[in-house]
Every structure is written in structure tokens, then in C-alpha cells.
Amino acid sequence: MAGKSKAKNRTTDGEMTFLQHLEELRWHIIRALVAVVAGAIVAFVFKNIIFDHIILAPNNPDFVTNRLLCRLADLVNVPVLCINQNPIELISIKMSGQFTTHINISLVAGLILAFPYVFWEFWSFFRPALYEKERKYARGAVTMASLLFLTGVLFGYFVITPLSINFLGTYRVSDLVTNQINVTSYIGSVTSVALSAGITFELPIVVFFLSRIGVLTPEFMRKYRRHAIVVVLMVAAVITPPDVFSLILVSIPLLLLYEVSIFIAARVVRQREDADAKEAEAEAEAAAAARKKAAEAKAAAETTTREKASEAGPAAETATREKAPEAGPAEETITREKAPEAGPAAETAAKKKTGDVSPAEETGTTARKKAAGTKAAKKDRTDAGDPAKPKDQDRQAGEPDEPAGNI
């Protein structure tokens, strides 16, 4: 069903709309809830183990933490360390109180049992939004988060819970007030302490991701280390008996957790700086390679241009030498043709200026001009039909083609 849902929600370009993201998140939440319900059913069935050996065990003098503290009290001669030697009597003031408590404890147990899978479901939803480098750094996040959570729950259950039961169960504002503790209140205290400790132990994971995105820095955590120590001591003083040993017993793991978080933040920042430096170096190398490639391309283009120019020079010179002999005879022929034609016309023009020309000579000159015009027209038609022959552009229409004798 989930696979079909993913296939339907994918668009052609591989991206998803906002509503499709909501649909995907809905299926992740449904699968996580199914896992929690399955764990709750298992816890509901094994009622005796959950209540007698787990939930109510810290109130028993035979609980492992109570026995160890009593031995330690005998060794150091501090009787106050021997806690929970008189179990608290629990009552239920509602008819359905114990059944409701059974269901609530089963759900809490189901959440604890299914926490690795629940965290994996939410991680699967957010993981596609990360870059490949971020995925590499976040590899193993599900395993580490699960181990830290379970470690915190165990620390809260075996260390903080017995101390809290001893302190809160025996604390009195007056001797006239008798404690009659409801089983719901007792179970609520035990579960809240265990779950709170489990969430608190997720601090390194939170610091890791905040350091990755640049929100939290090790300098900031070192700067406010004294404030963190004060907060840890205040919390430990509230949940522990009024003695220094119990205070230190609870405070040391929390302070160590804070120091580990500082170390993780420093390492993440250092890795991020190294990655940024490598990325900048890679970009610089790519830019240098691009410039080198451009310079090589420019040099190759210049070399090609010079080679083409050197090849075109001799070819042009050869073509010029080949055209020169062809043009020479043609120009010489045109000159020879123009010379005899221009001779009689020039002689007649000179005689006109001096007044020595006779009517017969004028008539002959006119006849030669007409003959020359007819011959030029024929030659133009012949040249138009034969493009290979050069045209005489310098000849005038009225000039004679051949010299004629004087009449």
C-alpha cells in the first residue's frame, strides 16, 4: 500500500506537491502508530512482567539499585544512602483506575519498544530532502538515536527513579499528613522520569544536527558551560535525597553528556570547515583548468589563422601571375585596334580646324563613321553571345573601325 502511494504521488519530474508530502507523512505516521500499538499489545498481554518486575520493582527493597546503595551505605557509613527499605503503599481510588492504568502503561511500553522503528519512519521521511554529503554525515543516525534513547531510559529507570521514589514518597510537610499515594500518580512519576531521561540523552544527536546547520557552535556551549552546570545541579537536587552523594551520582552522567555534546559540536564544525576548504580548492582548480583550456583554445585558433594566412599568400601570388599574361595580350590587341581607327578621324578633325577639308573628304568620313558604328554593333552582339571574349569598353560609337583612303 505504501509503495503504491509513493508511485501515485510522484510527478513526471520526480518532485512532489505540498499535499503529496502531507500524504507521504500521513503514511509514515500510520506505520509508526501501528508499530506502537503492536508493542502495546505485547505489553498488555505480559501484564505481570510489566507491573511486578518492571514498574513496581523500584519500590521494592530487593531492587538492584536499592541493594547496591544499601551496601555502599554500610561501606561508607552513610545510612541515608540506604533507600526504599519501607515500600510505599499504593491505592486505587477509581473503579476503572487499574484497568486504565494497565492500558496507559501498555502504550508507554509499546512506544519504548517501537522507538527505533518510529524514529526510522520519520527519518525516512526527512532523508530525501538532504544532500548526498549530509546523508553521509547522518549515516547511522537511527542506530545512535535508538541507543542513546534506550540508555537514557535505563539510566532514568535504574538511577533516577529509585531516588525519586524515596524522596517524593517519604517527603512530608507535617507529621499530621499521611501519604496515601495513588497508583496512577506513582506510575506517572516512574514513566515520566524514564522517558524524560531518554529524551535528555538525545542531546548529542540534537547538537549534531544543530551544529551541521550552523545554529549551535562549540564556543557557545563552552561559554555557557557554567550555566549548564547550575541547571544540572538544580535538577539533580530536586529528584535526589538530601545528600551530596546522590546529587553527584545523578549530576555526573548529565554533565558528561554535555561535555560529549561539546566534543561532537567541535568535530562537526571542524569537518564542515575541512569540507568547505576542499570545496573551495576544487572550485579554484576547476577555474584554473577552465582558464588553461580557454588559453589553449585561443592559441590553437591563432595557430590555425596563421597557417591559413601562410597557405593563402602563395596561392594569391600564383593566381596574380597567371592572370597577368592573359591580360597583357588582350590589352595589346585592344590598343592595336584603337590605333588605326583613331588615325583617320584625328586627321579629318585637324583639317576641319584649318579649313582644308573638302566635301568629298567629309562625305568619306561620314561613311566611315557609319561603317564603324555598324561594325561595332555587330561586334557587341558577337561579344554578348560569347562571354569569354573581353568587351571593348573604351571604344566610342562614332569612331571608324578601319582607316579609309581619301576620296
pLDDT at 143 over 90: no
pLDDT at 329 over 70: no
If asked whether residues 270 and 382 sit together in one domain, one would say: no
Task: Evaluate whether 10 touches 69 at the Cβ level (below 8 Å).
Answer: no
If asked whether residues 145 and 282 sit together in one domain, one would say: yes
pLDDT at 353 over 80: no
Q: Tens of pLDDT along 147-169?
A: 888 999 899 899 888 888 888 88
* Between 72 and 309, the higher pLDDT residue: 72
Name which of 29, 13, 1 is nearest 124 in CA terms. 29
* Between 212 and 368, the higher pLDDT residue: 212
User: What is the reported pLDDT for 372?
Assistant: 63
Task: Evaluate whether 206 touches 213 at the Cβ level (below 8 Å).
Answer: no
Q: How confident is the model at residue 236 (pLDDT cuts 50, 70, 90)?
A: confident
If asked whether residues 7 and 82 sit together in one domain, one would say: yes
User: What is the reported pLDDT for 404?
Assistant: 44
pLDDT at 7 over 50: no
Q: Tens of pLDDT along 99-122?
A: 998 999 999 899 988 988 998 888
Q: How confident is the model at residue 73 (pLDDT cuts 50, 70, 90)?
A: confident
If asked whether residues 75 and 8 sit together in one domain, one would say: yes
If asked whether residues 259 and 372 sit together in one domain, one would say: no
Q: What is the mean pLDDT of the chain?
A: 77
Task: Evaluate whether 404 touches 368 at the Cβ level (below 8 Å).
Answer: yes
Asked, for residue 369, whether it belongs to a domain, the answer is yes
* Between 253 and 42, the higher pLDDT residue: 42
Three-point CA angle 115, 121, 124, nearest 5°: 140
Domain, as residue range, for 354: 340-407
If asked whether residues 186 and 272 sit together in one domain, one would say: yes
Asked, for residue 311, whether it belongs to a domain, the answer is no
Asked, for residue 79, whether it belongs to a domain, the answer is yes
pLDDT at 374 over 70: no
The number of domains in the chain is 2
If asked whether residues 349 and 238 sit together in one domain, one would say: no
Chosen domain end from 266, 287, 308:
287
Positive/negative CA dihedral, 21, 22, 26, 29: positive
If asked whether residues 370 and 280 sit together in one domain, one would say: no
Chosen domain end from 244, 265, 287:
287
In whole angstroms, give the CA distance from residue 145 to residue 148. 5
User: What is the reported pLDDT for 241?
Assistant: 58
If asked whether residues 82 and 182 sit together in one domain, one would say: yes
Q: How confident is the model at residue 14 (pLDDT cuts 50, 70, 90)?
A: low
Indicate yes or no: pTM above 0.75.
no
Q: How confident is the model at residue 87 (pLDDT cuts 50, 70, 90)?
A: confident
Name which of 181, 29, 51, 25 is nearest 108 in CA terms. 51
If asked whether residues 100 and 242 sit together in one domain, one would say: yes
In whole angstroms, give the CA distance from residue 78 to residue 254. 24
Asked, for residue 348, whether it belongs to a domain, the answer is yes
If asked whether residues 75 and 185 sit together in one domain, one would say: yes
What is the mean pLDDT of the segment spanning 231-237? 81
Asked, for residue 301, whether it belongs to a domain, the answer is no
Asked, for residue 81, whether it belongs to a domain, the answer is yes
pLDDT at 175 over 50: yes
Asked, for residue 260, whether it belongs to a domain, the answer is yes
Q: How confident is the model at residue 1 (pLDDT cuts 50, 70, 90)?
A: very low
Q: How confident is the model at residue 392 (pLDDT cuts 50, 70, 90)?
A: very low
Task: Evaluate whether 265 touches 217 at the Cβ level (below 8 Å).
Answer: yes
CA distances from 339 to 100, 124, 200, 395 (A): 137, 105, 121, 11
In whole angstroms, give the CA distance from residue 8 to residue 49. 45
User: What is the reported pLDDT for 208?
Assistant: 85
pLDDT at 334 over 70: no
User: What is the reported pLDDT for 34?
Assistant: 95
pLDDT at 194 over 50: yes
Q: How far, rounded to the nearest angstrom, does the alpha carbon of residue 305 sit from its chain's CA centroid?
A: 44
Q: How confident is the model at residue 39 (pLDDT cuts 50, 70, 90)?
A: very high
Q: How confident is the model at residue 359 (pLDDT cuts 50, 70, 90)?
A: low
Asked, for residue 62, whether it belongs to a domain, the answer is yes
If asked whether residues 271 and 350 sit together in one domain, one would say: no
Q: How confident is the model at residue 402 (pLDDT cuts 50, 70, 90)?
A: very low
